[in-house]
Amino acid sequence: MSNYQKAAVILLSIIIVLPLLYFIIPIVLPFLFLAGMVYLKANYARIKGAVGERAVNKELEKLGPLFTVYHDLYVPNENGGTSQVDHVVASPTGIFVIETKHYEGWIFGKENQRNWIQVIYKRKEKFLNPIWQNYGHIKALKGYLGEQHNYQSIIAFSSRSTLKFEDNFSSARVVQIPQLNKVIKESLRRDISEVELRGINKALEQLVIQDGKQKRIVHQRHVEAIRDKQAGKVVVKPIVKKQTLNETDLEICPKCGGKLSIK
């Protein structure tokens, strides 16, 4: 086919297609817009949470080399299931366990209340006390890493929220996300030795799931276990093999496998 013939075919295609598009687009576009709105409404909470978590991830990355950050870990618990932990920061000053809440509006609650309240334009919504929720996460981590370490509980709310607490909290720090790094860096006292910290990081790395498909499977099992528990069923579904930290593990380099020297 010559260049002239090719040009003629292209021109003819344009002449035929353009009028069709002129009539089809005004008909199809409203349906596409409606479908997009339905999808956004159905998945708004998940999308909002994902965007918020990425913002927290970027914030925690600014902590520096002394802090190792882990996101979205499924920690084996004593019931044979898992506890889903939003963020864990391992450092010489302690292990910081962070529960994030990407909520807007006014937030009310007390340390010993089962439910807290979110208020948006006089509309009230209850949600589980995040301090209690994070206590369960720390309990699972103590069973996995050992109880001897310094665990710090932090609840981080969105900057779009207004925290309306009347009392101080003794078992957790409750802040907004922009204050997160400042709170983590407040303590300057070393509570975890260098050898212990290597062992902790090695154990936490075992919980990191890189494969997206495997992570979806683990998440689905985690959700099913919660539903079974709420329904009163006793179902044991181990997801991750429990990591035992013994003295030998703490003396082995996680990168090269050689013996570590204590300095």
Per residue in 70-102, pLDDT (tens digit) is: 999 999 888 778 889 999 999 999 999 999 999
The pLDDT assigned to 56 comes to 83
The pLDDT assigned to 33 comes to 59
Look at residue 57 and give its three-state secondary structure.
helix
In terms of phi and psi (left: phi > 0; alpha: psi -120 to 50; beta: otherwise), the region of 96 is beta
Q: How far is CA 204 from the centre of its chain?
A: 15
Q: 């030795």: which residue's tokens?
A: 193
Domain coordinates of the chain in residue numbers?
68-250
- Token pair of 70, please? 């882990």
Ranges of residues in the chain whose predicted pLDDT is under 50: 39-40, 44, 234-252, 254-257, 259-263
pTM of the model: 0.70
Count CB neighbours of 49 within 10 A.
14
CA distance 103 to 126: 12
Q: What is the largest CA-CA distance in the chain?
A: 83
Structural Rg of the chain based on CA atoms:
25
The pLDDT assigned to 19 comes to 73
The pLDDT assigned to 227 comes to 65
